Structure formats: C-alpha cells, structure tokens
Amino acid sequence: MTEATAPRLISLFSGCGGLDLGFIRAGFKGVWANDFDADAQAVYKKNAKKFNLGEIDGRDILTVGEDEIPDGDILTAGFPCQPFSNAGNRKGVHDSRGMLYKECLRIIQKKMPKVVVFENVKGLLSAKYIDGRKLPDTIIEDLSTIGDIGYDVVYELLNASDYGVPQNRQRVLFVGIRKDLGIGNFIFPAKQNKENLTVGDVLNMPDGLPNQEHWVYSPQALEMVEQISEGGSWKDVPYENLAPRFQRIRDDMKKYRSPNFYRRFSRTEICGTITASAQPENCGITHPTENRRYTIREIARFQSFPDDFMFFDDSLKNIVAAYKVIGNAVPPNLAHNIATAIMEQVFKGDEVCQ
C-alpha cells in the first residue's frame, strides 16, 4: 500500500497525537486533525514533521463546518472524557463537554467514513443520556442508523497493559464499520503477554534522554511521600502524621470507599493510570525510590510514547502542561494495536483505499 492509497485518517479531539501516532504507524495517513487545547496543539505541532502527523487545526470544533474537513476513510475521536470519568464530577452528557459527542455525529453524517473509532474512559459505560438511556446504547443506536447506511458497532473495555503499554489503564473503545462494506462487526485484537511492562522496566532507560525534568512536590505532599515505602501508599503514614482531612478519611474508610491515595508502585509492579492532573492523591505518580514525581520522560514512557517524542523545549516550557497532555493522551501502543486490526479487517488491499 502506497502513501497515495493509504486510508485517510480524520482525527477529532486529537490531543498531543498519541492515537494519531499509533494509527499512522499502522499505515494510515492523517489528512485532518483537530484539538482546541493550546498545550496539546503545541506538542502535536512540535512532533508533526518527525512523526508524519500532519497539520492540526486549533479551532473550536463547534465553529468548523463539515465542508472544511477533507474526506476520510476512518474517523477517530477521543471526545472529552472528564464528564464521564470516575475522577471527575460525573455530570456526563449534562456537562457541556459531554455533548461534544454530538459534534462527532455531525461530521460522521457528512463524511460517512468506512470506519469510526471512539475512545473514552470506563465511566462512560455507566453514564446516561439526557433521556435516561445508557450512553453506550445511545452511541450504538446513533451510529447504527446514521446517514441512512449506518455502522455495525461493537465496544469493549480494554486495559492498555494487554497491548504493550506499561500501565494499567482501562479505556472503552467503540469501533463501527460501515454496513454497506459487508464486513460485519470488528473483532478486537487478542491480548498480549505483559512481559517487560513493570515500573522497573520503564525506568531502565539510557542516559541522555530529553525531557527529564519533573514537577516538584509541594512541601505538604513531600512530607507525605517521605513516609511511604516502595509499593505502599498513604496507609503507611502514621495516623498522627496525617493532615486533619486525611485523618477524617482514615476514621471511616468504608464511607470513603477505602481510597488509595499517594500510591507508590514498586519496581516489580505495573504502574496504575497516569492522569492529567499528575497529583499523588489520584494516581501513582511517585517514583519508587526517589521522593519526587516521575519526570516528563518517565510518564511518557508509561504512556508508550517514543523516547524522541518531545513535550517541551526552549519554545515550549510549561512542565505542568506537559503532564496534562501526556495524561490525557491515548497510549500510542494501544492505538497501534487497534489500528493494525482495523487495517487487516477493513483495508485489506489498495482497491479498498481508492
């Protein structure tokens, strides 16, 4: 398959390019990408030439007309996950960001690509639409009937660590294949072994890699971290050394669902989900043996980004923003596995890509 016949990728809510990178490595050609977040745009642009990502449109998707977007064979969308996240306010579609899903439908109805891929957090599975229906059922119904042709749609909750990502990160993926192609339902790729995915494997890196700076902990957070051993959490901290709010939680663990703040994964474990906030209270962001956050390069490795994918330099210095865009990204290795399966099942020959 040549570049001229490669399936054309329309990428909505592209972030810093993790999903796009995985698809392009699988043989797809990016023809249009969009994200409104300035930090994500900056990182995407920084790496576009090296990784063949193409251009990214930084406009609000609400202002982009369907005719301004080129035709494509596949459309991917990681629409904002915060309304559906277990770590968020769980307003779901009642949050204005939740309705950005409708913008995806608007563009799909106009372009009718052969394949549609939605990626989101686990919380979407229990979210409800405004009319009370479960959101996954709504998505399937919408895609099944769109454009008088519709899509055969399946979804599955995946753990990124089953697909070469050194992180236990659960995400739900919807894949729709246009019904008139006669292919039927997408078959998700088989799970892989989890060799070489531990924290120790990730931290075993060559010297001289870029973006090794880290976001310094506050004095209060550092005081907590210093009392937690490798493989432990806030539960290691003596009660009398806890701040009052943590003491209240410790007093009634059942009420607070036994939270596991300040998790410090050991070198023999697979890391937990890297979040956009990079706060020790909601993700295992602390180095196993050093009293600090993981560096930008380290968390990029947990997300399976290449070591030469740049998140800041002299022209891009916001280290907190770098944590955010990495935490929000789709792991490239997960994306690559899904993209490869789609390529094999849908785009089997050059004639399909014409």
pLDDT for position 349: 60
Strand (E) or helix (H) holding 80:
none
pLDDT for position 55: 94
pLDDT for position 67: 96
Beta strand 115-121 with 170-178 is: antiparallel
Residue 147 three-state SS? helix
Which residue, 16, 123, 111, 127, is CA-closest to 69?
111
Is residue 343 a contact partner of residue 28, using CB atoms and an 8 Å limit? yes
pLDDT for position 317: 77
pLDDT for position 254: 87
Chain segment 164-209, per-residue pLDDT in tens: 999 999 999 999 999 999 999 999 999 999 999 999 999 999 999 9
Chain segment 187-196, per-residue pLDDT in tens: 999 999 999 9
Q: Which residues are catalytic?
A: 81
Residues of the chain short of pLDDT 70, as ranges, are 81-98, 349-354
pLDDT for position 129: 76
Residue 223 three-state SS? helix
Cα separation, 318 vs 353, in Å, equals: 40
